[in-house]
Amino acid sequence: MQKDVLISSILHNEVKPLKKSDLVGDALSYMDKNAISSVVITDENNAPIGIFTERDALKIVSNAIDCDTQLLEVMTKNVFCIDVDTYIHDAYVLMEQYEYRHLVVVNDKNEYMGVVTEGDFLRYMGFEDVADAKLVKDNMNKSILTVMPETSLIEVAKLMTQKKCDYAVVMSDTKPQSVIHERDITKFLSKRTEIDEASIEDVDQHHMYVIKKDASLKEASDMMQQHGVHQLIVVDTADVLVGLISRHDLLKAVHRSYFDYLYKTIEAKAQREKELIRHKEELERLANYDQLTKLPNRLFFQTYLKKSVARTIRNKQKVAVILFGLDRFKDINDSYGHSIGDEVLNIIKQRFLKRAREGDFLARLGGDEFGLILENINSIDDVSNILKEMLSAISATAELSNGVELHIEASAGVTLAPKDSMDVGELLQYADSALNDAKKSHKGYFSYYANEMTQKAQEKVAFENALRNSIKNGELELYYQPQVYIKTGKIISAEALIRWNHPTNGLVNPTVFIPISEESGIINAIGEWVIHEACRQGKIWEDAGYNLTIAVNVSANQLKYQNIPKIVQEAIYESGYSANKLEIELTESALMQREESVVEMLHLLRAKEIRLAIDDFGTGYSSLSYLKRFPIDILKIDKSFIDELPYNKDDAAITVAVIEMSKALGYQVLAEGVENEEQLAFLKEKGCTMYQGYIKSKPLPAKEFEALIRACLG
Ligand code: C2E
Ligand code: CA
Ligand code: CA
């Protein structure tokens, strides 16, 4: 199926519109003659002012209205019109949403261009994407309007109007005998004036075409086409009437399967990634030993450490976890080659093992890193003594197979369980930072973790304090990154991205301080500042005549603890910025976290005309089916899908699917992180609405951003 075709290509315009002074009778015979189900009524400027459909005709029957009545009095006023350059799928979604049978199409001067019906959509969409597996019984209508042959025409028309049915099945005792359509009644009406006495038997009835409930939708469609009918009676294996399937049902199924296809593409990628990870894990599990030294590897080390910790806690003892790193090992590899490097590693291993006591556990963790677990330690002095001995043994000169004599040196980091932690991951992390400390400050020797920890904790407290004061000290600043409308190349909006001008560390990126601010609750104050600042700046630009939307980021944590609608309300009020120029960006995962309250909050924001964007779209696969519940304006495709466009097939398929889906659901779609022309050309071809990325500009301070817009304008 072609995906981005405009409605103009399936438009009917051979049928001319009528005028409001034309009579109902004229309209009915006109519809009958042209075999159409509606006529549009236009004014002297050819603008649609009303529509008269078969359903309106039914009302005429049921209300006994005269055929000499002017259309003005009976037509449906408020005609819903769509633009001639709407995409077909968008148009269909609209029609579905509002439960219309036709869409009236106008050009940009609001002049009547034609009508599109369900039949036109079905002919266009076709059955390519519908699997043969889709069955009539799963898509049919089970509640059927049945009438008896002697029922009066007025009564039938009333029932059809009430039940919103465009047909009724005429029964003979318990068996279906024929079908009567809206159109049959319209036709009857156009030929006769007296209908009060008429019953169904006076109307030409249609032969009933019957299909089995287990037939496929494709078969149903073929049958409808072959006989020129819009619905089929559905029977079970015993030929008992079980439902009715209409062209409307077919169309719905076709469209649904188009969406299924989009979802499947995206889910398939998620699945493949999961499998890849599982596969890798299995491979790792297969090998518990290091190939080169035949020592246990990191995985085994971790498993063993876990048991070790449990054991010593039971025995009220201590465990020491030690990481060793060789100094200058990379130099050895670089100057003598990898086989000498391998030889060195094996020599080290021998020296370790020579000093080890029974029950000590040695592993090669990777590269030049070894790990040692010492159980049943009585005092720290024991550990220090063992380490001193080991390190000096290692540093003895070694004679290698190539005749070179090498002086090797190792450093070590130590952490103790349960004193420092009882968690394997933490212990390894602490030992690692102790090792780094040893390498930095006393090469060839060892460090204990304890000091390191207090230092880190102090640094963290200092950082948090500085962050807490950043607002008051005026150290926070918003940078703005342009968002470009692809069709015109114009900058139409900006994403506000926060920066912290740290007094000593310089410019700090949000990826560093936003998580810390969230941990410590400072995010609330920062988030509030961001919204106020964006509105303040937005108002300045608005007054200067720049037509820009500004997007601000709101994190999952902010949603949890802050009253975002209230903050937004205050910021808009204080600044005087236009609410419909402010956009809130939320990630998919933030939406998913607290779905119910988020839906409510988003509707509150929407009621204030605030725009809503989903950020990093595609990284939280699960939310796709929920999308429709949120009042969204724009989807931002995550940078990770854009990075390898157009070469990565998966990413290309996903990007196209997201663009398509956005169009169909009536969202705008923006590609994030566009860095080169090839990516942009791909996005343009696929109909993506907007992009943002370094190819246009990095995020800029407000002054520079303004200069950029001015340069673009002039
Ligand atoms: P994000 O919302 O996904 O923002 C987009 C990030 O991508 C920005 O990084 C931007 O500078 C970067 N970027 C844009 N185009 C390109 C490109 O072409 N190439 C590359 N490599 N990168 C590009 P930044 O400014 O460092 O922000 C990082 C994240 O920090 C943001 O990700 C957002 O999650 C968070 N953040 C930023 N400002 C705020 C804020 O005011 N409030 C909250 N809660 N979070 C914020
Ligand atoms: Ca963002
Ligand atoms: Ca993003």
What is the pLDDT, as a whole number, of residue 623?
47
Rounded CA separation 25/17 (Å):
15
Residue closest by Cα to atom 10 of ligand 1: 699
Domains of the chain (ranges, CATH numbers): 7-125 (3.10.580.10), 136-252 (3.10.580.10), 298-463 (3.30.70.270), 476-713 (3.20.20.450)
What is the pLDDT, as a whole number, of residue 192?
64
For residue 495, the CA-to-ligand 2 centroid distance in Å is 7
Any idea which ligand is nearest the CA of 531? Answer: 1
Residue 402, helix vs strand vs coil = coil
Residues in CB range of 667: below 8 A, 6 or more apart:
632, 633, 634, 635
- Region 479-508: what's the mean pLDDT? 94
Specify the ligand 1 atom closest to the Cα of 510: 30
Residue 656 confidence (pLDDT) above 80: yes
Residue of 674, 668, 713, 670 lying closest to 541 (CA atoms): 713
Specify the ligand 1 atom closest to the Cα of 555: 44
Highest mean pLDDT: which of 298-312, 507-521, 693-707? 693-707
What is the pLDDT, as a whole number, of residue 97?
67
Angle at 145 between CA 141 and CA 151, to 5 degrees: 165
For residue 296, the CA-to-ligand 2 centroid distance in Å is 45
- Region 111-136: what's the mean pLDDT? 74
For residue 460, the CA-to-ligand 1 centroid distance in Å is 23
N residues, the chain: 714
For residue 567, the CA-to-ligand 3 centroid distance in Å is 22
**Residue 353: other Cβ atoms inside 10 A:** 11
- Region 506-515: what's the mean pLDDT? 91
Q: Which of 467, 495, 553, 616 has most ligand 1 atoms within 8 Å of its beta carbon, as the pocket-test mutant?
A: 553
Q: Is 646 in the pocket of ligand 1 (CB under 6 A)?
A: no
**Residue 358: other Cβ atoms inside 10 A:** 4
What is the pLDDT, as a whole number, of residue 578?
95
The DSSP code for 327 is T
Q: Confidence band (pLDDT; 50, 70, 90) for 567?
A: very high
pLDDT one-digit tens code per residue, 164-221? 777 888 888 777 888 888 777 777 776 765 666 777 777 777 778 899 999 988 888 8
What is the pLDDT, as a whole number, of residue 80?
81
Rounded CA separation 579/609 (Å):
6
Q: Is 511 in the pocket of ligand 1 (CB under 6 A)?
A: yes
Q: Is 243 in the pocket of ligand 1 (CB under 6 A)?
A: no
What is the pLDDT, as a whole number, of residue 1?
40
For residue 497, the CA-to-ligand 1 centroid distance in Å is 6
Residue closest by Cα to atom 21 of ligand 1: 673
- Region 148-170: what's the mean pLDDT? 83
Rounded CA separation 351/345 (Å):
10
Q: Is 514 in the pocket of ligand 1 (CB under 6 A)?
A: yes
Q: Which of 467, 491, 495, 497 has most ligand 1 atoms within 8 Å of its beta carbon, as the pocket-test mutant?
A: 497
For residue 615, the CA-to-ligand 3 centroid distance in Å is 5
Q: Is 555 in the pocket of ligand 1 (CB under 6 A)?
A: yes
What is the pLDDT, as a whole number, of residue 238?
85
What is the pLDDT, as a whole number, of residue 424?
92
Q: Confidence band (pLDDT; 50, 70, 90) for 265?
A: low
Residue closest by Cα to atom 19 of ligand 1: 673
What is the pLDDT, as a whole number, of residue 216?
87
Provide the pairing of β-strand 690-692 with 476-485. antiparallel
pLDDT one-digit tens code per residue, 65-115? 777 888 888 888 878 888 888 777 777 777 776 677 788 899 888 899 988
Q: H-type helices in 356-409, by residue range?
A: 380-394
For residue 497, the CA-to-ligand 3 centroid distance in Å is 11
Specify the ligand 1 atom closest to the Cα of 527: 42
Q: Confidence band (pLDDT; 50, 70, 90) for 714?
A: low
Selected residue with higher pLDDT from 714 and 332: 332
Highest mean pLDDT: which of 345-354, 427-436, 695-704? 695-704
Residues in CB range of 620: below 8 A, 6 or more apart:
587, 588, 589, 592
Q: Is 534 in the pocket of ligand 1 (CB under 6 A)?
A: no
Specify the ligand 1 atom closest to the Cα of 523: 44
For 438-488, list the strands marked E by DSSP. Answer: 446-448, 476-485
Q: Confidence band (pLDDT; 50, 70, 90) for 231?
A: confident
Rounded CA separation 646/679 (Å):
6
Rounded CA separation 216/253 (Å):
12
Residues in CB range of 585: below 8 A, 6 or more apart:
495, 551, 552, 553, 554, 613, 614, 615, 636
Q: Is 385 in the pocket of ligand 1 (CB under 6 A)?
A: no
Element (H, E) at 340: helix 338-355
pTM strictly above 0.85 = no
Angle at 459 between CA 456 and CA 464, to 5 degrees: 125
pLDDT one-digit tens code per residue, 431-476? 998 898 888 877 778 888 865 556 666 677 778 888 989 999 999 9
Q: Is 369 in the pocket of ligand 1 (CB under 6 A)?
A: no
Residue closest by Cα to atom 4 of ligand 1: 497
Specify the ligand 1 atom closest to the Cα of 530: 41
Selected residue with higher pLDDT from 283 and 80: 80
pLDDT one-digit tens code per residue, 24-33? 888 888 887 8
pLDDT one-digit tens code per residue, 356-372? 888 899 999 988 999 99
